[in-house]
Amino acid sequence: MKSIIRIFFFLIIYNLSATVNAGISQPIKGDDDILWQAYKNGKYNIACNGWKKRARENSIVSQFNYGYCLEMGLNNSPRPSEATIWYGKAAESGLPHAQHNLGILRAEGRGIKKDIILAYFWLKISSEKLISSRKALNNLHKNNKLTKSQVKKINQLLRAYYYKK
């Protein structure tokens, strides 16, 4: 009976994650090999604290990597709402991996408010560079029927984003 319940919960979790069907992007190797090595060696406290310090100094890659630490709870409990702040800084600077993860978080609503409009917006932008974002965007589109109002808002956001570029 316990194994049937485990299988049932596995299928529920698998189906929930399949709504977007794309994993989040992993940390990126930046200019600092020491922090990257610490992450690869499982020394998450060292890596995350170092990325936090550099993120505050406006290192785009470190902002993304620190957001990943927060989302996954590598050195504390997971804090997706705080991760969106750091992903957002890196995403606005044009980092596709941050745009992707921000879109995934918004689509799934894990620890933050689910927002299909922002999910679609960030995945659309990152889909220009990442195949995983294209897949996630296609699945998001299949699983969510957008209203005319939502499409209009997404198009307004995209126009504003590309106008600033």
Please report, as a single letter, which amino acid is at residue 155.
N
- Owner of token pair 């990325």: 51
111: which 2 tokens?
């620890």
Q: Where are the domains of the chain?
A: 25-164
Q: What residues contact residue 37 under an 8 Å CB cut-off, 6+ apart? A: none
How distant, in Å, are the alpha carbons of 17, 38, 40, 76, 90 from that of 27?
20, 12, 10, 17, 12
pLDDT of res. 28 = 84
Mean pLDDT of successive 10-residue segments in the chain (165 residues)?
41 39 76 87 96 96 96 94 97 96 95 95 96 95 92 95 82
pLDDT of res. 10 = 36
pLDDT of res. 103 = 96
Gap between the Cα atoms of 98 and 100, Å rounded: 5
Q: What class has domain 25-164?
A: mainly alpha
Gap between the Cα atoms of 117 and 107, Å rounded: 9
